[in-house]
Chain A
Amino acid sequence: MFHWLEKNPFLFSVGVFLVIAFAGLVEILPNFAEASRPVVGLKPYTVLELAGKEVYKKDHCIACHSQLIRPFKAETDRYGQYSLSGEYAYDRPFLWGSKRTGPDLHRVGNYRTTDWHENHMWDPKSVVPQSIMPAYQHMFTNIADIDTAYAEALTVKTVFDTPYDTPNGVKLGTLDEAKAAALEEAKAIAADMKNQDVKDAVANGQIPEIVAIIAYLNRLK
């Protein structure tokens, strides 16, 4: 019956490959799809948080900080619940990192606050005396790029169907709406901060990078 197959070794090899590959995919893909579904209650990043994420990438925080808590007792004691893959569903790209010169940041929003980040970014040694982290004072003057962050959100909404503009979800809207929402969010954060220049900038409708990155770090829970 399959004699003809044995007479065509190349075709036979391709056939064997296809059968085995299909069996493998049937085993692997459902598991992948299941694990990468967003965890219950996960919301996409707001535009301000995305702008903060851009700052995180730009200043290369990932070089020293990871965002992945492994299921070891030593780590869960210090950082909290171990990470689940579904928590990164809206991270494009995820920022797991591979080196911890500083601590893990995946749940930093649970145990640090706006004013702590403000002190820490201005002068890390003022709160952690042995810290070797450099100061990031330029974040207090650089203005965050909200337009790019909006473009990013709009892209993932369009291309990957990230659930923006859903009922009870994160509202994206038009660029102007998004900018207004980001400014509102920034005002709430600036209210908890002490730096007068930052407060003034936000009052004038500008969002310094420090506000964006604090929004992003507070969101990491």
Chain B
Amino acid sequence: MQQRQNFDISLRELKLQLLHMGGDVQESIRKAIEALKIGDMVMAGQVVHDDIHINQQEHEIENLCIRLIATQQPVATDLRKIVAGMQIATDLERMGDNAVDIAKTVTRLQGQTLIKPLVDIPQMATIVDTMISNALNAYVENSLDLAEDLAIQDDEVDHLYRRMMEELFSIGKDRPDVAHQAMSLAFIGRYLERIGDHATNVGEGVIFIITGKRSDLN
């Protein structure tokens, strides 16, 4: 007979809440990048405004985890699921903050014509979006492969970031009048690169849940 049904229901609830939060974070990042592409400051403002909901979700997940630790005395895989769940919520919240950072940078650009066509940033955004999906799927499906593949995707993001920085540095050196915008775009690249790092942290959390061992995907 299956025992601890209420506990198992709560663990499923934790999973659902993390998935929901992850979906909201992805949506914020997509919106922030779209706002950059079309210079839409209203959309950027919306990302900043919506961050409060992401923060609330982090608190709700923490509260659920604290309640489960206090009332269910979890051990072994159950304990790792809960501890890793709290860490994943923290990483998702940081990704949400990075989306806000991107949106605020878009607001500061005030709809300026961009000094170069956006190539690397959308590409990085696409990869980190996939990374978040993969990290969450790895969590849902207990997939070591999906979690470990995040390291490869993170390398791609890092590579694009370095390439973008070199290009922006070169533009800024030749045209001091656009140095400010070049720096802003570099920051956006940096925020995306950080989001990729947080996604790898989620993957490390998944590996910890499955194997009980610590890993470094970054």
A and B assemble together = no
A interface vs B, CB < 8 Å?
none
B interface vs A, CB < 8 Å?
none
